Structure formats: C-alpha cells, structure tokens
Amino acid sequence: MKKLRFIIWLISLAWCNLLIAQVRISSWNLQNFGKTKSEAEVNFVADVLRDFDVVALQEIVAGYGGTQTVAKLADALNRRGAKWDYLVSEPTESTPYASERYAFLWKTSKVKRLKKAWLEQNFVDEIDREPYLISLSYNGKSFTLVNFHAIPKKKQPEKEIKYFKFLPELYPDNNLIFLGDFNVPQSHTVFNPLKKIGFRPVVQGEKTTMKMNCVEGECLASEYDNIFYNSDEFEVLSSGVVLFYKSFPDMVTARRISDHIPVWAELDFQEGG
C-alpha cells in the first residue's frame, strides 16, 4: 500500500510539472556596465544573478566594452554551476550620449530562445532608447520579454511609455512581459492602458534606486524599476528586490556596482495560458 501511494504521488508530481511552468525572471539597470567594471565587480553581479533563470539588463555601454563585459558576466555565471547563454543588442538609435545597449542572459537548461532578439522599430522616432525584445520558451510555454530603459524623469518618460499600449496589438501571439527601468513608479497613470487589459506590476511600493548615502536607515529613493505581466496568462508566485548594497560598507562603494537594485519575480505559466 505504501509503495502504491508513493507511485501515485510521483505521478501526481509529474502531472503538476506538466501543467505548471515556473521561471524566475530578474531586471537590473547596471549603470554604465562596461570596461570600467572590475573583475571583482563582475563576479559580484554574477553572485547576485546566479539563482535566476532569465535576466534582463539595462544601461550596457554602447561601445565595445559593454558587449565584452556582458560576455565576462556570462562566463562568470557559467562558473557557478549552470550553463548560461546571452545576447547583447546593437546600440539604441539615440543621441550619442543617450545611446546604450540592452542584454539578456538565460540558463539554457531552463529556457530556450525561439528566435533572434530585436530592437523594436515601430516607435523608434518616439522612443529614445527603443525596447529590446526576446522570445523564449519553457516546457512549451512561450513568452516575450520587452526590455526597456526610459529617458530620465526630468524629460517626462511617460511620453515614451504611452506607446507600450500598442505593443500587445502589434504582437497578439506573444505573451508580453514589460520589464526594466521606467523612471516613473508603477502607480503613474501612463500604465493605466496596460492595466486595463490585464497587465500588473510584480512589486508595488518598492523603491529601486539608491541614495548617495543612507539617511536614518533609508537607503533607497524612487520606485522606478518593475516587471509588468499579463495576469490573464501568468501568476506571480513570489517577487521582490535584491538589497545588494547591504553587502558593502557604505553606499559609495555599493554604487560602484549600480545605482539601482534588481527587481525579480517567479512567474507561473498555467495550463491554457
């Protein structure tokens, strides 16, 4: 009888795994990620990201040093127990001082790339740093990440973000997930059109930019980074931010890594999604 119950349990577990696909996704603005980052700093970034399955990075240096440093990061991740692959975008079609690259990294044992990633061209004249998209699959469940870094708050990033409402119509067969540094909080009205069609932020009220110095224990400033998922297609099992600066003696040292902290979510791709 015990053996029979054990077999039934194994079958149930296998059936659940067929119905549910869980992927841990992270987004991180790595602030001028390029040749100025030391080997120790790249290794620290790898330690922060090692437990995720897919990572979207913003603010990769547009020059050769940016691509080279992402390659070093992928190599560092590969030395931590799992095989990773990566893609780096071409420089965005921006002014010389605003242009940058995006990057995706993923565990090859967990997800598969479906096709070549691309910089979104439909609104290249309206969006300074056009988003970088990649389509991936896990256990037959496909999803498309829309990696984005908005213009600074003083330049009104909502003027760019308002065009995101058109992307679900342009890619009706893609399960879109918007993620990155939006330079406005998720509560901003510019996200209302996406929210009306089912998109939700994975974190609310979570500040993600770092102050120059902690003031009375408060080290974070603004709620800019997030991940927006379609609640009709996915469920968030868990989410949060990584307070990596706590590994450093002060904020000045921590900000050599970045002035943003990573945001992450574990998404559940349910049957029928």
At 42 the three-state DSSP class reads helix
pLDDT digits (tens, 9 = 90+) for 23-54: 999 999 999 999 999 999 999 999 999 999 99
- Pairing type for strands 210-215 and 199-201 reads unpaired
Question: Domain for residue 74, yes or no?
Answer: yes
Token couple for 221 = 């400033």
pLDDT digits (tens, 9 = 90+) for 71-102: 999 999 999 999 999 999 999 998 777 899 99
- Read off the CATH number of the domain in which 166 is found: 3.60.10.10
Q: Is the pLDDT of residue 14 over 60?
A: no
Question: Domain for residue 138, yes or no?
Answer: yes
Question: Domain for residue 214, yes or no?
Answer: yes
pLDDT digits (tens, 9 = 90+) for 112-128: 999 999 999 999 999 99
Q: Of the candidates 264, 207, 258, 239, which has an alpha carbon nearest to the alpha carbon of residue 58?
A: 258
Rounded to two decimals, what is the model's pTM?
0.91
Give the count of domains, the chain. Answer: 1
Question: Domain for residue 109, yes or no?
Answer: yes
Q: What are phi and psi of 183, to 5 degrees?
A: 60, 15
Task: Give the chain's largest Cα–Cα span.
Answer: 71
> Residue 263 is part of which domain span?
22-269
Residue 271, pLDDT score: 58
Instruction: Report DSSP state, residue 118.
Output: E
Question: Domain for residue 101, yes or no?
Answer: yes
Question: Domain for residue 12, yes or no?
Answer: no
With the CA atoms of 252, 24, 265 and 37 taken in that order, what torsion angle do they form, in degrees rounded to the nearest 10? Answer: 20
